[in-house]
Chains A and B, each alone.
Chain A
Amino acid sequence: MKGVCVQALMKREGFALDVHAGFQGHGVTAILGASGSGKSTLLRLIAGLEKAKTGRIAVNGEAWADTVDGVHWPPQKRSVGYVFQDYALFDHMSVAANIAYGLKGRKKHRLLEAGRWIERMHLSGLAERTPDTLSGGQRQRVALARALAPNPDVLLLDEPFSAIDAHLKTQLVAALRDTLGDSPRTVLMVTHALDEARQVADHIGIMAGGRLVRLGAAADVIDDPRAYEAAVLTGWRNLLPVAWVSNNRLGGKWGALDLDRALSLNAAWVGIRPERIRIDAKPGAGLPATIRAVRELGPVREIECALGDGTRLVVHKAWDAPLLAPGTRVGLVLPPEHIRLLAQGRAIVLGDEDTRACAGGLA
């Protein structure tokens, strides 16, 4: 029963958190969300730095907090490693002392272990330096080593790259992926940047308005967000608002679409990825549209089209496909098998597989 199960309800002035989810005990789960969506609060709840009004937090089957039973383990008791957004290194201590801080045992052994971590994280020679003399990337690695050294059951990273310069980010993200690798622990990484999530994560969770609206394998979430907020955060740009639904058809001011299945979700939007739209030169087929702009993005050509009511759709074609001039009237065909239905707001409910962990069934 590995993993972290969170059931939590919290209310503050202007902020509410309502989460019921199970996070996998292997691989990295990225939590994506806009600022204020509650993702940092979720981490703090798991770490014990915040208390939920009602709820239960269980790690690998053990209850760390349970308002029904009156259990609340303080952070000191929880086997958790936390990497803060600004790293929160102890700036009056050396790098070695920082890393050794969470270890138990005699000073000699602790410093020896810290030394091993220093090597592993490519921080050789910096053992006696103080954090204020290090670069951003070095500080991040020290923070990571400090959190990992005590071998915690759960590792929490709060926007670990927000303090990193853009041009260094790619290397560091790759380095993080290598370090976390096949960690035998639950790893949750909060971020607002999709590219970080895609590079590092095996699973993705989406938070919006204090609620977890989607949780699943990274590829699944990106391909089938199911929630409007999830689609926006995973880079979906072709999102059409649904005004009416009838049997296998739905539509709005922009037109109408046929679907290949009866609606199962309370669909407020439909979405389709740019590379899935087919452009038909005959305007009669599909949605009538006019080409507004053509942009060359290296191997991909981006064609921006306007539908009848002005709504834009973006289509991606290979760079060497036949060129279409702006102003051309075309028909956009949206194959039903690639259309994704998206719910929004309180109507979203996580699927059974997402809460399975809490029922005791995590792989």
Chain B
Amino acid sequence: MVAASQHAIDMAPFALSIQLAAVTLVILLAIGLPLAWWLAMTKSPFKPVVETISALPLVLPPTVLGFYLLIFMGPQGWAGQAWAGVFGHALTFTFTGLVVASCIYSLPFVVQPLQGAFERMDKRQVEASLTLGASWPKTFVQVVLPQARHGVLTACVLGFAHTIGEFGVVLMVGGNIPGETQVLSIAIYEHVEALDYAAAATLSMMLVLLSFIALLPLYAKGRKRRRQLREVMP
């Protein structure tokens, strides 16, 4: 199955995929932690609206999402023009544009496990921390996050793995430019279209392996953890 390919295998897509997933994850944690906390704690009437909006990427077909992002981030779109004002070119077909698209696309996979973990948390411990004189930042870091660590792990793993496997959105917004936006899933697609099935098979195995390694921590921790994790998964 892993026969000799028509050309030498390029490793750039592999690195790009990891970089995209890592950067997206960092940004999504920075956005997702406060958003999930607000959603878990708020009694605002806007909560269902915000929840629905942040869950939309789950149900929209990737190519639809990609198509609208292509317009929105392109030179005729609002975001693209704003970006062009500073950097001289639109957001589309750049690594940064991919990051923006991936953040939108993988948002629910990070926010929902976090929100679930915060909601299931023992609120009394938060209250105890406050009565003991701890500020909100100290409470969040020393009490909330450790309490929610399974949710945080789930959010990281799912966010990372989901971005690794992303295809439709990246293809539309990124444009398959080698070394810049040609991530692993796109490279596989290109090989298949070019009928270089051997290369496609090799890269596919790498993608499967990468996804496997990314997901393993979530399930490897033994039965006690798994029971707690089931309470936290979306």
Contact = CB atoms under 8 A, between A and B. Distances in A.
A is bound by B: yes
A90 interface: yes
Nearest to B136: A76
A212 interface: no
Nearest to B143: A90
A48 B127 CA distance: 10
A89 B133 CA distance: 15
B133 A102 contact: yes
Nearest to B139: A76
B52 interface: no
Contacts, number: 58
Given A84-B124, A88-B122, A92-B147, A47 B129 contact: no
Given A90-B143, A92-B146, A92-B147, A76 B127 contact: no
Interface string B124-168: 110111111111100000110011000000000000000000000
B128 A76 contact: no
Given A90-B143, A92-B146, A92-B147, A76 B125 contact: no
A310 interface: no
B interface SS class: helix
Interface residues of B, number: 17
B132 to A, nearest CB: 3
Contact of B127 (A88, A101, A104, A150): A88
B146 A82 contact: no
A78 B131 contact: yes
Interface string A98-110: 0001101000000
B135 A82 contact: no
Contacts of A147: 131-132
Given A76-B135, A92-B146, A92-B147, A86 B124 contact: yes
Nearest to B145: A92
A21 B111 CA distance: 46
A76 B130 contact: yes
B124 to A, nearest CB: 4
A101 B147 contact: no
Contacts of B135: 76
Contacts of A82: 127-128, 131
B127 A75 contact: yes
A74 B132 contact: no
A interface majority secondary structure: loop
A88 B132 contact: no
Contacts of B146: 90, 92
B171 to A, nearest CB: 43
Given A75-B127, A88-B122, A88-B125, A102 B132 contact: yes
A102 B134 contact: yes
A173 B218 CA distance: 45
B128 A88 contact: yes
B131 A80 contact: yes
A132 B176 CA distance: 53
Contact of A75 (B122, B125, B131, B142): B131
Contacts of A92: 146-147
A92 B148 CA distance: 11
A146 interface: yes
Given A76-B134, A102-B133, A90 B127 contact: no
B131 to A, nearest CB: 4
A49 interface: yes
A216 interface: no
Interface in A56-99: 74-78, 80-82, 84, 86, 88-90, 92
Nearest to B131: A82
Contacts of B132: 81, 101-102, 146-147, 150
A104 B146 CA distance: 21
A90 B132 CA distance: 12
Interface of B: 122, 124-125, 127-136, 142-143, 146-147
Given A78-B131, A81-B131, 8 more contacts: A76-B136, A82-B128, A84-B127, A88-B127, A88-B128, A90-B125, A101-B129, A101-B132
Closest 9 CB pairs of A and B: A102-B132, A88-B124, A75-B130, A82-B131, A88-B128, A92-B146, A75-B131, A88-B125, A84-B124
16 contacts: A47-B131, A49-B131, A75-B127, A75-B130, A75-B131, A76-B136, A77-B133, A78-B131, A82-B128, A88-B122, A88-B124, A88-B125, A89-B128, A101-B132, A101-B142, A102-B134
